[in-house]
Structure 1
């Protein structure tokens, strides 16, 4: 691929593209990362040689933290460059529908819209020792707006989806695997070789076969576009409300969106309720 990116470091091995996220200081979802995803998804729709994409992070502590709450309007507008709608839910849904097979390889924390990006990928594998998952929006009185409700309810079932969403707490890789949030939790030393081997195996098969399988699975498991749009609108409207703004300000005062505090974000969010 000839495309260059601001927040993604890419390398191609045969028909597999490895895309490593580098969006310092802690891989927040902001306009730069969204614009790179817009470009990448558009490229995947054009570039037949790329059969599989493996997403990883260059930051050992964070895969994708969550959205940058200071740039919500900007990143939503960036998403519209591909979908025509100011919504990362629509962008992530397009990722689910791209011709390439997408794999998220998780080391470190993935929360909020980071989890929603991961859920939009076709498969997820995580390091048992370091991966942490959280859907933190309800701690601010918000509905997750990037597809989490649609994906988690289908994957986890009603009761576990409600537990994950309403607790806004951190879950380790073993529990995420048990809950069906991810495909597998693997020892960190085995994760990258396992994912690379799987990606190359899939890339070695005819594209027509996996494209048809992915299309049929999406027809069964991927929620209708109207449901993603509804959740996106609920988030977009809710984040403007006084209660949400007050809780965001309280979280920022406690260190929200700083590396030190976000290493233990589950505890910080619990303290907001006190």
Structure 2
């Protein structure tokens, strides 16, 4: 790896690249982080890069809480640089992540909600701290369906009923329930998580690159959504996130401390459930 990034620190150990997100105060997905992710995905798309990439967060409480709701046009513009104006969405950026010629592993501690969960779903594998990981798709509770891959991935992974439960309730899932539903590969005791992920990454990193990528490509051909469906989800999200219901509900959440380290962000699913209904 040759580039340096503002919000991502990288370390190469043999054939395994560690990429740690660090965007204080709470690792929101904003324009700076998306810009860095575009650059990193571009690097990882080149031949002869790392065979395995492990993503984690420098913040033990927040992997990615969600997008920065005050900067939707700005981060969308950064995402467009990965594929052009026709693909100006996190959904299509995350699809590019799913297709890079390397195996991607998300090592999850803290909250991964909204597009944070969708980033995890775009990775090839997800291993989470049993004690400290929380996953959630809060978008419907805010006023819009998910727009960066959750509908496509969760329906395939969880099945119709459980996907609808995850998406429509906007509820938090702890790691054990997420594992049982299929949202993540495994819930691992926190004290064992680092060693477990390092071991599985090193094991795959020693396998022939051509075999790893051929097998991944074959699975992708069966399991990834059609790009047109990803684009449609993104367009609907971008339309409704600017709608009256979403604007009213996010305004109330901001009054309560959204996008800070306070209780509203920590317990966002509860805060959404307490909001008054908007017709």
TM-score normalized with structure 1 length: 0.98
Partner residue of 1:133 out of 132, 135, 139? 135
Identify the residue that residue 33 of structure 1 maps to in structure 2: 33
Identify the residue that residue 268 of structure 1 maps to in structure 2: 271
The Cα offsets for residues 172-217 of structure 1, whole Å up to 9 and x where unpaired, read as 0000000000000000011010101111111100110011111110
Unaligned runs of 5+ in 2: none
Identify the residue that residue 73 of structure 1 maps to in structure 2: 73
The whole-number CA distance in structure 2 between the counterparts of 1:10 and 1:273 is: 43
The Cα offsets for residues 4-44 of structure 1, whole Å up to 9 and x where unpaired, read as 00001111100110001101110000011101110001001
1:102 corresponds to 2:111: no
The whole-number CA distance in structure 1 between the counterparts of 2:135 and 2:49 is: 32
- What is the deviation of 1:137? 0.3
TM-score normalized with structure 2 length: 0.97
1:44 corresponds to 2:44: yes
The Cα offsets for residues 32-65 of structure 1, whole Å up to 9 and x where unpaired, read as 1101110001001115131111000000100001
1:191 corresponds to 2:193: yes
Identify the residue that residue 217 of structure 1 maps to in structure 2: 219
Trace 1:75-90 onto structure 2 (pairs within 5 A): 75-84=75-84, 85-90=87-92
Identify the residue that residue 122 of structure 1 maps to in structure 2: 124
The whole-number CA distance in structure 2 between the counterparts of 1:65 and 1:49 is: 29
Identify the residue that residue 147 of structure 2 maps to in structure 1: 145
The whole-number CA distance in structure 1 between the counterparts of 2:212 and 2:120 is: 20
The Cα offsets for residues 197-252 of structure 1, whole Å up to 9 and x where unpaired, read as 11111110011001111111001000100010000000011111111111110111
**Secondary structure, aligned partner of 1:259:** coil
**Which range moved further: 235-244 or 126-135?**
235-244
**Secondary structure, aligned partner of 2:82:** helix
Deviating above 3 A after TM superposition, structure 1's stretches of 4 or more consecutive aligned residues are none
Unaligned runs of 5+ in 1: none
- What is the deviation of 1:117? 0.3
The whole-number CA distance in structure 2 between the counterparts of 1:115 and 1:74 is: 20
Does the 8 Å CA contact 2:118/2:148 hold for their aligned counterparts? yes
- What is the deviation of 1:72? 0.2
**Secondary structure, aligned partner of 2:60:** coil
Does the 8 Å CA contact 2:257/2:265 hold for their aligned counterparts? yes
- What is the deviation of 1:166? 0.6
**Secondary structure, aligned partner of 2:182:** coil
Identify the residue that residue 60 of structure 2 maps to in structure 1: 60
Identify the residue that residue 209 of structure 2 maps to in structure 1: 207
Once superposed, what is the RMSD of the aligned Cα atoms? 0.8
1:235 corresponds to 2:243: no
